């Protein structure tokens, strides 16, 4: 008695998932040169099962790439609604860069002239929409600079992936992390305040009254404003010199 159609469909879905998972691992380990026979062996199915779902190697590669894009889209959508979209945004950036570096061969094929990009265009558009939402949420929070456009971000991803490929290990490299840091909003730096010098010899800034005192502190004579330059503190050069000698004597004493 033949098996019901629903059982066959479930079995077919399971086999397809097995093939895609095996192809994903094989591509990450061996690159796009892996054969369909190798994929079938890893999936534990016959070669005919692979060809039934993916008649050509190109069809299999496209399906793997679409699956990866949809996986990233799901991550972006989940992170967008967190309570800290800024941290979520940078966590997603890290995930996208590291996962792309692990799949260099497949990414290289996507940028080659002969690759039929239109077949995965829908998956790419879904990812862009999800990423745009994540970016805007982080910008509304004030965690990401508001002049960063999605096109800028995509270009930066390309650069970060190229930089990350030069590093070894599974962690984000320092140069890549520095690039991502430029996307953050930084609080304004406080103005530089000059601290008073302990040695005040020859420095009259601590004693000068820039608000133009009415009388000379040495002789109490009226100080006449000149109308230009710094407000005078002493009535004459003689009183200024006298004040200077008094300060020097106090320092020596």
Q: Tens-digit pLDDT profile for the chain (253 aa)?
A: 444 445 448 888 888 999 999 988 888 777 777 888 899 999 898 888 888 888 888 888 888 888 888 999 999 998 888 899 999 999 999 988 888 876 665 555 555 544 556 667 888 888 999 999 999 999 999 999 999 999 999 999 888 888 888 887 678 889 999 999 999 997 766 655 555 454 444 444 444 444 444 666 656 566 766 666 677 777 777 777 777 777 776 665 5
Measured between its terminal Cα atoms, the distance across the chain in Å is 116
Give CATH for domain 11-55: 1.10.10.60
pLDDT at 242 (0 to 100): 74
pLDDT at 65 (0 to 100): 86
Q: In CATH terms, are 11-55 and 60-186 the same topology? A: no
Residue 183: CB partners within 8 Å, gap ≥ 6? 90, 93, 144, 145, 148, 153, 156
pLDDT at 183 (0 to 100): 94
Contact present, 106 and 64 (Cβ < 8 Å): yes
* CA–CA gap between residue 112 and residue 107 (Å, rounded): 9
Which of 218, 225, 221, 220 has the alpha carbon at shortest distance from 241?
Answer: 218
pLDDT at 106 (0 to 100): 55
SS (H, E, C) 75-108: HHHHHHCCCCHHHHHHHHHHHHHHHHHHCHHHHH
What are the domain boundaries of the chain?
11-55, 60-186, 209-253
| CATH class of the region 60-186 | mainly alpha
Residue 65: CB partners within 8 Å, gap ≥ 6? 106, 110, 120, 123
């Amino acid at each position: 008695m033949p098996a019901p159609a629903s059982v066959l469909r479930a079995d077919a879905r399971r086999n397809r998932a097995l093939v895609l998972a095996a192809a994903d691992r094989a591509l990450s380990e061996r690159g796009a040169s892996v054969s369909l026979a190798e994929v079938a062996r890893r999936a534990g199915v016959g070669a005919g099962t692979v060809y039934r779902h993916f008649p050509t190697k190109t069809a299999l590669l496209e399906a793997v790439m679409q699956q990866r894009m949809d996986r990233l889209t799901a991550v972006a959508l989940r992170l967008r609604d967190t309570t800290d979209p800024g941290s979520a945004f940078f966590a997603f950036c890290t995930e996208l860069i590291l996962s792309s570096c692990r799949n260099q061969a497949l990414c290289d094929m996507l940028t080659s002239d002969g690759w039929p990009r239109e077949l995965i265009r829908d998956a790419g558009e879904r990812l862009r929409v999800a990423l745009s939402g994540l970016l805007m949420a982080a910008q509304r929070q004030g965690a990401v600079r508001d002049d960063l456009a999605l096109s800028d971000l995509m270009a930066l991803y390309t650069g970060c992936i190229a930089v990350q490929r030069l590093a070894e290990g599974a962690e984000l490299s320092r140069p890549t992390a520095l690039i991502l840091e430029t996307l953050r909003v930084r609080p304004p730096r406080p103005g530089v305040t000059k601290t008073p010098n302990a040695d005040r010899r020859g420095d009259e800034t601590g004693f000068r009254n820039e608000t133009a005192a009415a009388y000379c502190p040495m002789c109490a004579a009226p100080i006449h404003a000149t109308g230009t330059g710094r407000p005078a503190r002493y009535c004459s050069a003689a009183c200024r010199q006298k004040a200077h000698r008094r300060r020097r004597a106090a320092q020596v004493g």
